[in-house]
Amino acid sequence: MFVPCGDSAPNLKGFTLLMPAVSVGNVGQLAIDLIISTLDMCKIGYFYTDCLVPMVGNDPYATAEENSTELSINAEVYSLPSKKLVVLQIRSIFIKFKSKSFCEKLLSWVKNSDFAKVIVLSSSHSSHCDDLQLGGTPFRYLYTPSMQKNVQNKIKSLNWREMESSPCIPEIEDSEPCIRIPGGGITKTLYDESCSKEIPMVILLKFVSEGDNIPDALDLVEYLNEWLYIIKRSCEDNHTRSALRWKIPSSWRLLFGSGLPPALF
């Protein structure tokens, strides 16, 4: 499934894998874009899979005319060895009934690569929040049992809120409680499969609505940065100043299209 750019697969043992879930508002994917762009990560390979809708386009992180013609596809892998960080970016939706197959193949690669941990950036419909979730922070986390002893103390010190259980059938209050992530795409499947396969995984998500979700992506990477310190933080940072530290990819100029043609008027 993973195809390296070079002649041999890189040694990723002990690295942290960051990846998005294709979820409401594409918040996870936008957040991953910010991380790749800001850290100027190098592409080390791609995923060859029939589970995603095929796509090809120009390099979304091009910084000059010379590399603007390089091509990108639907699932690519980037790395920053100095931080022992690997990032998988997913750029298209799943083909119907193939998302579970993708999760199984992905987690098999995770096992074979011997990653230290996997962090999934995701989002969930704010319109589906219950009364308890409507109060306080819109951010939530989940971690698998094999990850608990590694992050429990750190997360407690950050005062983060764990994703609450809610009735499996929302219309029936007495139904068995479970973790529900409406609009979260493969988030729940990845979490369940990682629990059963004893893969150390953390899910970080935000409750959002569809629209201009760039502010949500900036919020999510700041949330992640509280834990991983991907870029330097200052105790004096306010939201505006910290947002300026993240490098906006060149492809975001066309995030909402190329504008209205003057001939229209």
Those residues whose C-beta lies under 8 Å from the C-beta of residue 68, and which sit 6 or more positions away, are 58, 59, 62, 250
pLDDT, averaged across the chain: 89
What are 19-39's pLDDT values in tens digits? Answer: 999 999 999 999 999 999 999
Number of domains observed in the structure of the chain: 1
Residue 116 lies in a domain: yes
Residue 258 lies in a domain: no
Q: Greater confidence, 115 or 168?
A: 115
pLDDT of residue 97: 92
3 state SS of 120? strand
Reported pTM? 0.90
Residue 236 has pLDDT above 60, yes or no: no
Distance CA 16, CA 114 (A): 10
The DSSP H or E segment spanning 158 is: helix 148-158
Residue 229 lies in a domain: yes
Residue 44 lies in a domain: yes
Residue 244 lies in a domain: yes
Residue 239 lies in a domain: yes
3 state SS of 215? helix
DSSP classification of residue 171: T
Residue 51 lies in a domain: yes
Residue 34 lies in a domain: yes
Instruction: Report the percentage of the chain scoring pLDDT > 70.
Output: 94
3 state SS of 195? helix
CATH code at position 197: 3.40.50.10900
pLDDT of residue 242: 58
Range of the domain at 176: 12-253
